[in-house]
Structure 1
Amino acid sequence: MNENAALYFVDRHLDAGRADKVAFQEADGGKRSLTFKQLAEESGRFAGALHRHGVRREERVAMIVQDQIECPVIFWGALKAGAIPVPLNTLLSAPVYDVILNDSRASILVVSEKLWPTVQPVIADNPYLRAVLVIGEAPEGTESYQRFVEGAQILPAVEAHEDEMAFWLYSSGSTGQPKGVRHVHSSLKATADTFGAQVLGIREDDIVFSVAKIFFAYGLGNAMSFPLSVGATTVLLSGRPTPEVVSGILETHRPTLFCGVPTFYAAMNAALEKTGLPQGMSVRLCTSAGEALPREVGERWHRLTGTEIVDGVGSTEMLHIFLSNRPGEIVYGTSGTAVPGYEVRLVDEHDEDVGEGAVGELLVRGPSAADGYWNKRHKSRSTFEGHWTRTGDKYECTADGRYIYCGRTDDMFKVSGIWVSPFEVEQALVEHPAVLEAAVVACADDKGLDKPKAYVVLNEGQDAAAVENLKEFVKEKIGMWKYPRWVEVVDDLPKTATGKIQRFKLRAQV
C-alpha cells in the first residue's frame, strides 16, 4: 500500500469530484489560483522535473519560497518524487541561510525572485547545491523555475511507507540557532485527523487564511494539510500581513477560518478599534498559536469581532497543536486541555509528576512527533524520550484540568525563592491601557539577586509618562514580589518570524 502523503492530500480529490474546485488563491502577487486538478498535475510535473534532473530519493529540496502558488506545488511535488522538501523561513539573513543550507546539504534550492538578493551571497561557496531555481526572472548562474519544469513528464507519487521521512522543518530559533526537525509521511494526516478535524472542525466549504506562513509548522497545518484534508480553499499572502492588508483579505476573500498569532491579534485589535470591522467579514472561528495568547488580547478580540479565538500550544517537534481550548469552551488565559489523540503531563526536575497548581515542564506524546533532529544526536536524545517529547515549556494545571502557560524553561526565574512566570507578568502588563506588548526577563539588582525587568511597547498615542504607574498596576494584579523593578519603553521586541518573543536576546542586554 502506497502511504505517500501526497496521495491523500492532493491526488485523492480528483476521484472525489473536486478537480475544478480552487485549492489555493493568491491574495497578492499575480492573484492567481490553482484548482485541485492543477495542483495534482503541477506537483506531478515538478516530481518529473526533479527525476529528469537526477534528484534521488531523500535528497533535500530547500525552499525559500513565499506563500504563492508555486509553494504547494513544490512541497507536494518533492514528496511525490521521494525527495525531502525543506521549507525555510523567508525572513532570515544570509548568514543563517548559509548555516541551514550547509547543514541540510540540499542539492536543489528554489527561491522566490524577491528573496534572491538576500540568498545570493551564500550560493557561490555552497558545495552541495547542484541547481538553484528562481521563481520569476532568473539571474545569471541560476535557472528559471518555469524552464526547469517545462516539458517534464507528470509522474505519480513514488511508493512510500507512513514511517518514511517526508519533509524537514527548521525550528524558529526562539532560543537560539534553528534545528532541522525531521517528519514522516503519517505526521501530516495525524495533525489533520486530530486538531484539524476534532478541534477546528474544518469543512469542505471553509475558506482558510493563515497569517502564519507555510514554512512555519503552525502555518503548514493551517494553510496546507488542514484545508487539503477536506478539500477546502486556502488564501495565500506572499507579502507582509499588516492589519490593513489582512483587513482587506477579510473583506475581499471572506475567509471563514482565520489563523493568527498573539502579536498580530494585538495589532489587529488596535487597528479595528479605529476602523471598525471589515465589511462582509465572514470568519466563523479563529486560532492562535506560536506563543500563549494573553487573556486581555483574546477577550478584546472577542468583544470587537464576536468571534472566538481557539488558543493552543504546538511545536515544530510535534508539527501542530496538541494542547488547546475548544470552540464554545474558551477560557482565555489558559491553553485548554489535550487535543484528542495526545497525552500531556507535567514533571519536576526529577521527572516526577507534579500536583495540581504546581509548575512543571510540559511533556507530550502523540502520533505527529518528529523522528528527531538532523545532525544533533545529543539534543534529539534529550528532547525525544521514548514516546514522550519534552516541550521546554513550563505549565501549571488547574483543578478543572486546564493548563496555564508559565514560560519557557529557560525563561523562568525565582524571586525571593518563588518561581516567577515571565508570561504572567507580561499578561498583567498588557492589560494596562497604555501597553501594546511586553516582555519580561530576569535582571540582577545591586545585591546580585534576580528581579523582573520589563520591556514594553506602547499603544499609539501614549508616551513614556504613561508607564509611571505600571509597577503598582502589576502589584495589584498578580502580587507584590512579581512586579517589574525596571520598565524600559522600546519601539519593538525581538521576535522570530513566527511571532515568538526572543527573550534570550533581551537577557543578553541586561
Structure 2
Amino acid sequence: MTLPGHGMTMSDLVARHARLRPDAAALVDARARRTYGELDGRVRRAAAVLAAHGVRAGDRVAVLGLNGIEVVECWLAALRLGAIVVPVNFRLVAREIAYVLRDSGARAVIADPALAPAVAEARGSAPSVSYALTLGGDYEAALAAAPEAGLERGAREARDEDPAFIMYTSGTTGAPKGAVLTHRNLLLHAFSSMATQGTTQPYEVSMSTAPLFHIAGLSTLLPPLLVGGTNVIPPSGGFDPAATVRTLVDEGVTSCFMIPAQWQAVCALPELGGHDLTRLRRISWGAAPAATPLLETMIRTFPQADVCSAFGQTECSPVTTLLRGPDALRKIGSVGTPLLNVEVRVVDDEMNDVPRGEVGEIVYRSPMVMKEYWNRPEETAEAFRGGWFHSGDLVRQDEEGYFYVLDRKKDMIISGGENIYCAEVENALLAHPKVAEAAVVGVPDPKWGETPLAVIVPRDPAEPPAAAEIETFSRAHLAAYKRPRHVRIVDALPRNPGGKVMKAQLRDRYAT
C-alpha cells in the first residue's frame, strides 16, 4: 500500500510547475493559451465545482469534448479530487454514450455544447449520472463562481495504484471494454518513453493530432507536463495538412505525433519545402500500420528529425516498443525494441516461446500494463492468463531483437492450412505506383476456407489499378497462396477515430 506522501498525479505535475515556472506555456489550442499558473488556477476552480456537486475520490467523471484546453482542465480537476476520468469518443451516438456512462457508473459528465443533446438523451438510461456540465458558457460561469477559499475541497492525495483513467477500447469484436489505467501506469509510461527517446528538456514543444479521448492523445500529453514543456492541441474535425504545417512552424514544435495517413498528406504538400521546420527534431507515428514507401518518404522529407514508430495498445498505456531514429532506415518496417520497463515474450497458443524468426503472439509484463478491465473479472483473467498480458498481436523477432508486426491474431487469414499475414500482403501492394492505401481481409472460399481480398484506394481516382494489374504485380512480389484473389476499389477505407482500418466492416461488406 502506498504511504502518505508517495502519490503523484498529472494534476500534481501542473501544480508543481505552477510554483516553479508559472509564466511558462503549458497548453495551446486554436483559441487560447494557458500558462502553468493560469492552468493550475482553473484546475483548482474546476475541482471545486465538481466537489460542490458531490464528486469524491473514486467517482467516475466522463468527459466528452472536442480537442481543446478545457478537456484537459476537466481531466486534471477530476484527478485532483482523486476521481477517475472517463474520456468518451465524441463521435458516439446517444445509445453508445449511454453504454459508457452505465458501464463506468459515471457520477458526472462534462460535454461540449455540440454534444450536449446526445448526452441529455443518454442520461435517460444512465441513472448513475447526477451532475452534467456543458463546456463553454456554463463551464466558464461555474469556474468564475467558484470560491477563492477551499478551492480543493474534497481533494485527497492519490495512491500510485489508484485508477486514474478508464479508457474504452474500440469494441470491434464486441461491446467496448474499459481499460483501467492507474497513476503509476501513466507516469511510468511517461518516464520510460522520455528515457528511451532522451526527451527531458522543458523547452520541448509537443503536438499530437490524436483525439484526446484516444490513448495516443492522452499519453503524448504526459512527457511535456512532466518536464514543464508545452503541449499544442490541434482542433478536432477534418485533418488539414497545410494548417498543421503552419502550426508546426508558428509554435516551434519540436516533437510531433500523427497517424500514417496524416504524415502521408503532409509529405505530399507541394509547398512543404518552403517552410522552416528545423526545430522539428522528432516525428513519430503509430495507431495504425505505415507502409515502407511512406516511411522512406518521411525520412527523405524530414532529414533533420528522428523518425520514430511507436507500437502498443490502450491496455499498455500504450507504447510497448519503439523504433528510434538511428534505426529508422536500417530496420525499416520494424516496430523496434521494447521500451524501458517493458518485458516481452513471443509465444504460441500454449504459452511456449517460439524461436526467433518464427511467428507468435507478443505478450507483456510491465508496470505500464493496465490494472484490469473495469468490472470484467473473467475477461481480465483471460487477458492475463499465464501471468502475462496477451496483446493479440502476431509478431516475429529478428536476430538482433527487433520486432516486426504481421497481423492481429483475429485478422490472420488461414487459407488451405496456410497462414497469411495481412500486413505483409498490404505492404507489398502499397509498393504499386497506383495504390495509395490497401487493406486485406479474408473472405469465405468453398475450396480453401477463406482467401485474401484486397480493398484498395487508388492514388488517382481517375486511373485506378485494374484487377489484372494487381494480379500481375502480386505474382512478382508474393507467394501464390498469399496473392489477393479478389480486388475492390474504394474511395476511402473505413477507419475508427484512432486511424485504424475497421476490418470487421470490410469482412462483413465483402463476405459474399
Measured against the shorter chain, the TM-score band is over 0.9
After superposition, residues 414-453 of structure 1 pair within 5 angstroms as 414-447=414-447, 449-453=449-453
Match of 2:248? 250
Match of 2:128? 128
Match of 1:263? 261
Counterpart among 8, 31, 46 of residue 4 in structure 1: 8
Q: Alignment RMSD, CA only?
A: 1.9
Structure 1 residue 250 displacement after superposition? 2.1
- The answer to which of 299-308 and 368-377 deviates more is 299-308
Counterpart among 138, 148, 152 of residue 142 in structure 2: 148
Structure 1 residue 387 displacement after superposition? 5.0
After superposition, residues 103-252 of structure 1 pair within 5 angstroms as 103-137=103-137, 144-149=138-143, 150-152=145-147, 153-155=150-152, 157-199=155-197, 201-222=199-220, 224-240=221-237, 241-252=239-250
Structure 1 residue 313 displacement after superposition? 1.0
Once residues 245 and 219 of structure 1 are traced to their aligned partners in structure 2, the CA distance between those partners, rounded to angstroms, is 19
Query: CA offsets per residue over residues 416-451 of structure 1, 9 Å max, x none?
Result: 422111011111111212111111111123425321
Counterpart among 20, 25, 28 of residue 28 in structure 2: 25
Match of 2:282? 285
Is 1:300 the counterpart of 2:335? The answer is no
Match of 2:327? 329
> Secondary structure of 1:395's partner?
strand
Match of 1:312? 310
Aligned letter for 2:14?
V
- The answer to which of 432-441 and 153-162 deviates more is 153-162
Match of 2:97? 97
Structure 1 residue 46 displacement after superposition? 1.4
Once residues 450 and 324 of structure 2 are traced to their aligned partners in structure 1, the CA distance between those partners, rounded to angstroms, is 37
Q: Is the 8 A contact 1:218 1:314 kept in 2?
A: no
Q: Is the 8 A contact 1:294 1:332 kept in 2?
A: no
Structure 1 residue 300 displacement after superposition? 1.4
Q: 1:358 to 1:386 in 2, by over 3 A?
A: closer
Q: 1:263 to 1:462 in 2, by over 3 A?
A: same
Aligned letter for 2:98?
D
Aligned letter for 2:23?
D
Once residues 58 and 386 of structure 1 are traced to their aligned partners in structure 2, the CA distance between those partners, rounded to angstroms, is 30
Aligned letter for 1:113?
P
Once residues 245 and 473 of structure 1 are traced to their aligned partners in structure 2, the CA distance between those partners, rounded to angstroms, is 37
Structure 1 residue 57 displacement after superposition? 1.6
Structure 1 residue 202 displacement after superposition? 4.7
Count of matched residue pairs: 497
Q: 1:67 to 1:479 in 2, by over 3 A?
A: same
Structure 1 residue 490 displacement after superposition? 1.0
Once residues 386 and 34 of structure 1 are traced to their aligned partners in structure 2, the CA distance between those partners, rounded to angstroms, is 46
Query: CA offsets per residue over residues 454-510 of structure 1, 9 Å max, x none?
Result: 111112454334553112223322322211111101121121100111111211221
Match of 1:140? none
Q: 1:2 to 1:45 in 2, by over 3 A?
A: farther
> Secondary structure of 1:317's partner?
helix
% identical equivalent positions: 29
Once residues 198 and 428 of structure 2 are traced to their aligned partners in structure 1, the CA distance between those partners, rounded to angstroms, is 29
- The answer to which of 443-452 and 61-70 deviates more is 443-452
Once residues 286 and 155 of structure 1 are traced to their aligned partners in structure 2, the CA distance between those partners, rounded to angstroms, is 38
Q: Is the 8 A contact 2:373 2:380 kept in 1?
A: yes
Give the alignment's TM-score, normalised by structure 2.
0.92
Structure 1 residue 95 displacement after superposition? 2.1
Query: CA offsets per residue over residues 157-188 of structure 1, 9 Å max, x none?
Result: 51221111222111133444321111111112
- The answer to which of 151-160 and 78-87 deviates more is 151-160
Q: 1:102 to 1:277 in 2, by over 3 A?
A: farther
Structure 1: stretches of 5+ with no match in the other structure:
138-143
> Secondary structure of 2:146's partner?
coil
Q: Is the 8 A contact 1:266 1:436 kept in 2?
A: no
Q: 1:339 to 1:462 in 2, by over 3 A?
A: farther
Aligned letter for 2:152?
L
After superposition, residues 41-60 of structure 1 pair within 5 angstroms as 41-60=41-60
Once residues 198 and 408 of structure 2 are traced to their aligned partners in structure 1, the CA distance between those partners, rounded to angstroms, is 26
Structure 1 residue 14 displacement after superposition? 3.1
Structure 1 residue 66 displacement after superposition? 1.9
Once residues 275 and 136 of structure 1 are traced to their aligned partners in structure 2, the CA distance between those partners, rounded to angstroms, is 36
> Secondary structure of 2:232's partner?
strand
> Secondary structure of 2:211's partner?
coil
Structure 1 residue 244 displacement after superposition? 2.9
Match of 2:397? 397
Once residues 456 and 172 of structure 1 are traced to their aligned partners in structure 2, the CA distance between those partners, rounded to angstroms, is 23
Query: CA offsets per residue over residues 200-259 of structure 1, 9 Å max, x none?
Result: 52521111110112211122111x211101111011123223323312322322311010
> Secondary structure of 1:381's partner?
helix
Give the alignment's TM-score, normalised by structure 1.
0.93
Once residues 178 and 251 of structure 2 are traced to their aligned partners in structure 1, the CA distance between those partners, rounded to angstroms, is 34
> Secondary structure of 1:469's partner?
helix
Structure 1 residue 332 displacement after superposition? 2.1
Is 1:275 the counterpart of 2:271? The answer is yes
Structure 1 residue 135 displacement after superposition? 0.8
After superposition, residues 335-350 of structure 1 pair within 5 angstroms as 335-350=335-350
Q: Is the 8 A contact 1:464 1:489 kept in 2?
A: yes
Match of 1:14? 18
Query: CA offsets per residue over residues 59-97 of structure 1, 9 Å max, x none?
Result: 110000122111121111101111111111222222211
Structure 1 residue 413 displacement after superposition? 1.8
> Secondary structure of 1:4's partner?
coil
Match of 1:463? 463
Aligned letter for 1:279?
H
Q: 1:278 to 1:348 in 2, by over 3 A?
A: farther
Once residues 490 and 98 of structure 2 are traced to their aligned partners in structure 1, the CA distance between those partners, rounded to angstroms, is 31
